[in-house]
Structure 1
Amino acid sequence: MDDDQRERAATLHNTSEIIDGLVAGTYYLDDPEYRDHLLEAGIAAGNLTVGGPSFDYTATIDDVVSIRTRVQENEDNYLLVKSVNDLDTAIESDKTGIIMGFQGANWVGNDLSRIITMAELGVRVIDPAYNRGNTLGDGCCEHRNAGLTMLGREAIRTCNEHGIVLDVSHCNDATTMDVVEHSGDPVIASHIGCRALANSQGRAKTDEQLRAIADNGGVNCITPFPPVIKRDAETHEVQQATINDVLDHIDHVVDVGGVESVAFGGDMSDRTLDQGSISEGSNLNVWRKTHPEVYGNGPTDRMDPYPEHLSRYTELHNLTYGLVDRGYSDEDIRNILGGNLRRVFETVWN
């Protein structure tokens, strides 16, 4: 880029309302070494994962209450977002808004009133299934080729009625399409790739799914998570990607569903990369050996290298530079960085 483009990109990044489709680490709230990363990256708000895979409802409630407390204790950096007004307040006060979301809803069991309780606690995003199947539907690693259950369809209506955005990032193909079909509200895929570019079953969405989400008024959030960005189509070996590969996925979503249907979903773990190891409960440790078609082939004791120049939040400005370099207009870039997700939130939360 020339100097004018660089100046334009810097201005866009510093003045855009950046909304992250998926913030994966709760340690960003209060780990002294990382608690400033989201704010320094320019993120106005992010969908922070507060739980999901656990079947223990009581423990899950405790986790949500803990997050609420931790946000309040770190109110110099963060503000809990339960409404669009809260989102505006966070922006005006130079804080990062925390949107509480679930990756999976195993904790629902057979009791849909639990969803209502979570809404009352401030949860605003729910992915019905996380990898395995549950009472609502199947996740991307489940061996059955099933979609939403009868209870799952009722759960979709409950979410619609109580201002909860539905997320299909870890749903299998059938569940993804069922959620979009049965939701009266726009649906998001908070952290995904495009299967046309990376053959990750479930975690990278097909063109049909990308288009359905777009037609529903929803948003597909492209993540730099390596297994869904670049891999060998046959062996599933995860390959080193660059920011240009991430931009290719964004371009593909635009080609399929229009620029209004794409956003960014970080799913970046700065601390995990720095530690050089992953937890025993990590997807790569638990699911990679049995489901390489989903999570790719690669190490199970550490993260795959993230794309060059977009490996962590401190490099997020490079995404804006890349969008300028790809020829997107200022309006399109602002919408990709946050405007498109804000539109969905305004529709569902109001």
Structure 2
Amino acid sequence: MLIDGLQCGHFTRDVFTELRQANVAAVTVTCGFWEGTVESLDSLARWRDLVAANSDLVAIATTAADIEAAAAAGRTAIVLGFQNANLFEGRIRFVELFAELGVRVIQLTYNNQNELAGSCYEETDSGLARFGREVIREMNRAGMLVDLSHVGNRSTLDAIDCSDKPVAVTHANPDSLFTHKRNKTDDVLKALAGKGGVLGCATYRNITGDHYSSSLQSWCEMVARTVDLMGIDHVAIGTDRSHNFTKPDYDWMRMGRWTRGVDYGAASAASPGKAPPPSWFTQVHHLGLLPDGLRGVGFKPNEVEKITSGNWLRLYGEVFADGRPAQAATPGFVQSDPVLALS
């Protein structure tokens, strides 16, 4: 079976059907990029409706055991995630609330620096902020996975050091294999592995490059070189596949509400639109080609199992809560909201 650490876009029954054809046991979906609290709640509500309408194919999972149960029942587990921390709107207690709503993966920041950390696209990465440290501790307590995919390298190292639990880069590649601001330097990836974390190797052409996108063998060779760097227990799949996106969707991802200008995200002025998918991954169900592709570049059966599902399952088992966040570190007196106190 397969686990994909990150996909995004507009999921439909057709997409779910193709995931089942590929024997995808779980996928972390992107519920938001720039949205605040209320918009994020709307997104979660839509996801609940979508899953309920397709309950023969998918189910929401909040634990590693849920994923295994869904796979045993012939369904794909949906892991709810966000690619930014805007949903918290600066409120530390919202971490637990969103955890109780089933959210299990949060990226500290998207393409811009925020009040938690620096982004990979900032000229200067300021590192993890005080609020970022508080959020990581709260995510550890609530059973949420810290995602560092779009986070700057300095902030990523800070977050790896700060977290009591393993963290992840759910969708990126080694910068030493394809140079891009979105990819991670070797020192970052070694630190990630050193604390038990996982990298989900991406298929997104803009951060994978034409060579590693040219064939299934080439992409699997990239995975093999990544394993040489990080070790077999720390490399997995995080395709960053998008579904049914059009220009307004890409504009929202790249520009949100924060600019009047044009921003290309991981693309460029020379190639501003949708990046062509890898030649071997033109349809969602082509994910099912990966086990044979990995075997073809020399991975043994137990190693294929780790890359395709085992490493994510191990990490999820260590990080995800069972819906009952641990007792807060400082129980007792809770300061009232000053706005409410004055009303």
| TM-score band, normalised by shorter chain | 0.7 to 0.9
> Counterpart of 2:244 in 1: which secondary structure?
helix
Partner of 2:44: 64
Which ranges in structure 2 are unaligned for 5 or more consecutive residues? 322-343
Q: Which moved more, 1:58-67 or 1:330-339?
A: 58-67
Partner of 1:299: 271
Output the amino acid matched with 2:29.
L
Change (3 A) 1:77 1:239: closer
Aligned partners of 1:68 and 1:336: how far apart in 2?
29
Aligned counterparts, 1:54-133, within 5 A: 54=35, 56-133=36-113
Q: Give aligned-pair identity as a percent.
A: 28
Say whether residues 1:345 and 2:316 are aligned partners: yes
Partner of 1:6: none
Partner of 1:204: 183
Say whether residues 1:38 and 2:19 are aligned partners: yes
Partner of 1:164: 144
Change (3 A) 1:329 1:249: same
Residue 252 (structure 1) shift: 2.1
Aligned partners of 2:162 and 2:251: how far apart in 1?
35
Residue 142 (structure 1) shift: 2.6
Partner of 1:150: 130
> Counterpart of 1:204 in 2: which secondary structure?
coil
Partner of 2:198: 219
Partner of 1:136: 116
Render the CA deviation track for 1:155-192: whole Å, top value 9, x for unaligned: 00000001001111111111111111101111111110
Change (3 A) 1:295 1:148: farther
Number of residue pairs matched? 319
> Counterpart of 2:294 in 1: which secondary structure?
helix
Say whether residues 1:246 and 2:219 are aligned partners: yes
Change (3 A) 1:254 1:43: same
Render the CA deviation track for 1:120-153: whole Å, top value 9, x for unaligned: 1000011110010111112222333211110100
Aligned counterparts, 1:224-243, within 5 A: 224-230=203-209, 241-243=214-216
Change (3 A) 1:62 1:296: same
Aligned partners of 1:245 and 1:139: how far apart in 2?
29
Render the CA deviation track for 1:253-308: whole Å, top value 9, x for unaligned: 21111011100112213534xx799643243999996567x5455432x3121221
Match 1:330 to one of 301, 305, 318: 301
Q: Does the 8 Å contact 1:22/1:48 carry over to 2?
A: yes
Output the amino acid matched with 2:295.
V
Q: Which moved more, 1:79-88 or 1:164-173?
A: 79-88
Aligned partners of 2:2 and 2:308: how far apart in 1?
5
Q: Does the 8 Å contact 1:241/1:306 carry over to 2?
A: no
Match 1:266 to one of 208, 232, 239: 239
Partner of 2:252: 281
Q: Which moved more, 1:31-40 or 1:84-93?
A: 31-40
Q: Which moved more, 1:311-320 or 1:283-292?
A: 283-292
Aligned partners of 1:180 and 1:127: how far apart in 2?
13
Q: CA RMSD in A?
A: 2.5
Partner of 1:22: 6
Residue 334 (structure 1) shift: 0.6
Output the amino acid matched with 1:45.
A
Q: Does the 8 Å contact 2:255/2:263 carry over to 1?
A: no
Aligned partners of 2:212 and 2:320: how far apart in 1?
39
Q: Does the 8 Å contact 1:278/1:303 carry over to 2?
A: no
Q: Does the 8 Å contact 2:13/2:54 carry over to 1?
A: no
> Counterpart of 2:139 in 1: which secondary structure?
helix
TM-score, normalization by structure 1:
0.84
Aligned partners of 1:331 and 1:34: how far apart in 2?
28
Output the amino acid matched with 1:179.
A
Partner of 2:28: 47
Aligned partners of 1:168 and 1:152: how far apart in 2?
12
Q: Does the 8 Å contact 1:125/1:166 carry over to 2?
A: yes
